[in-house]
C-alpha cells in the first residue's frame, strides 16, 4: 500500500518473536519481499503506473551507493549514525503526517529551484493523465544516498525512496509507490542471490513467509483499490505512518543487532 516492501518491519519481528539468528532473519525477510513486489508490480504494470526512467535513475546509483556504504562501515561510528538515522526517519514520518493535508505545492524553496536545473525534464504518463518535472542528476544523487544508507546501516533504503519521490520531486503518490515496488523486485533478486551464497536462507522457513507476503500484497492492493481510494492525501498519510513504524523498527533492529 505504501511501497516499502515490509522488510524493515519483518527483521525485528523474526528475531524477537521467532528467535531467528540475525543473519537468517535478514535473508528470510529478503526472500519474502520478492513475491510481494512481483505481485504488486504486475498489477501496477497493468495500471501503467510504473515510471521506469525514475526507477533506473534511483536504482543504478543505489547499487553503487550500497558498495560505498559497506566500505564506510570500517571508518565511521556506525552505531551513533544508526541511532540518528532512526530518529530522522521517525521525524520525517511525523512531518508527513502533520503536513499531508497541504494540497498546494509551493513554487519556491531550494528543491523547487534545484528541480529546474539544466538536467531537468518533463515526464508524462498519458494513460493516467499525469505530468511532473524531474531533475536527472538530483534524482541519481538521492539514489546514491539511499544506497549508501543501505550499505552503511545494513537495512534496505527502499522505504526512503517513496517519500523522496513524493516530497522532493512532487511525483504523484501512486506513481511513486508503484515505482518503488518495481525497484524492490530488482533489489530483492540481488539480495536473495547474495544471502543464498552466504548461507543465510533456509527455504523451509522462507516459503511460508513468501506466501504470506504475496497474499498480503494482494490484500493491500484490494483494500487500496476498493475500500480506500488512493488519493494523494491518503497515500501520504499512510506513508507517514509507515515511516514512523520504520523508525521504531530500525531502533529495535539496532538494539537487537548489537545485543546479538
Residue 260 has pLDDT above 70, yes or no: no
pLDDT tens-digit profile of 156-173?
667 778 888 887 788 888
Query: CA-to-CA distance for 209 and 103, rounded, in angstroms?
Result: 38
Of the chain, the end-to-end C-alpha distance in Å amounts to 32
Query: CA-to-CA distance for 144 and 157, rounded, in angstroms?
Result: 10
The stretch 120-128 carries a mean pLDDT of 82
User: Which DSSP letter does residue 104 get?
Assistant: S
Q: Quote the pLDDT of residue 259.
A: 67
Burial class (CB in 10 A: 0-12, 13-18, 19+), 109: exposed
Q: Where residue 232 falls among pLDDT bands split at 50, 70, 90?
A: low
pLDDT tens-digit profile of 85-107?
778 778 878 877 776 555 444 55
Q: Where residue 80 falls among pLDDT bands split at 50, 70, 90?
A: confident
In the chain, what are the helix, strand and coil shares in percent, each to the nearest 5?
Answer: 75, 5, 20
Least confident of 106-110, 135-139, 183-187: 106-110
Q: What is the mean pLDDT of the chain?
A: 79
The reported pTM is 0.78
| Beta pairing partners, 131 | 124
pLDDT tens-digit profile of 10-20?
877 888 788 88
Amino acid at each position: 500500500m505504501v511501497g516499502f516492501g515490509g522488510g524493515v518491519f519483518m527483521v525485528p519481528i523474526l528475531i524477537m518473536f521467532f528467535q531467528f539468528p540475525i543473519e537468517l532473519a535478514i535473508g528470510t525477510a529478503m526472500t519474502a519481499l520478492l513475491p510481494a513486489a512481483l505481485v504488486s508490480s504486475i498489477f501496477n504494470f497493468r495500471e501503467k503506473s510504473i515510471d521506469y526512467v525514475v526507477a533506473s535513475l534511483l536504482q543504478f546509483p543505489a547499487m553503487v551507493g550500497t558498495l560505498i556504504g559497506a566500505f564506510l562501515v570500517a571508518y565511521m561510528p556506525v552505531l551513533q549514525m544508526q541511532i540518528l538515522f532512526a530518529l530522522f526517519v521517525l521525524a520525517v514520518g511525523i512531518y508527513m503526517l502533520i503536513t499531508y493535508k497541504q494540497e498546494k505545492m509551493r513554487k519556491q524553496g531550494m528543491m523547487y529551484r534545484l528541480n529546474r536545473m539544466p538536467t531537468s525534464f518533463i515526464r508524462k504518463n498519458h494513460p493516467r493523465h499525469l505530468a511532473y518535472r524531474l531533475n536527472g542528476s538530483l534524482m541519481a544523487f538521492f539514489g546514491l544516498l539511499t544506497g549508501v544508507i543501505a550499505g552503511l546501516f545494513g537495512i534496505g533504503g527502499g522505504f526512503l525512496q517513496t517519500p523522496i519521490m513524493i516530497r522532493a520531486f512532487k511525483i504523484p503518490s501512486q506513481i511513486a509507490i508503484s515505482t518503488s515496488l518495481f525497484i524492490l523486485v530488482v533489489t530483492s533478486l540481488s539480495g536473495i542471490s547474495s544471502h543464498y551464497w552466504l548461507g543465510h536462507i533456509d527455504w523451509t522457513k522462507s516459503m511460508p513467509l513468501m506466501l504470506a507476503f504475496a497474499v498480503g500484497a494482494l490484500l493491500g492492493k484490494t483494500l487500496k483499490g476498493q475500500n480506500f481510494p488512493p488519493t494523494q492525501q491518503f497515500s501520504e498519510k499512510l506513508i507517514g505512518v509507515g515511516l514512523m513504524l520504520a523508525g521504531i523498527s530500525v531502533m529495535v533492529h539496532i538494539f537487537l543487532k548489537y545485543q546479538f
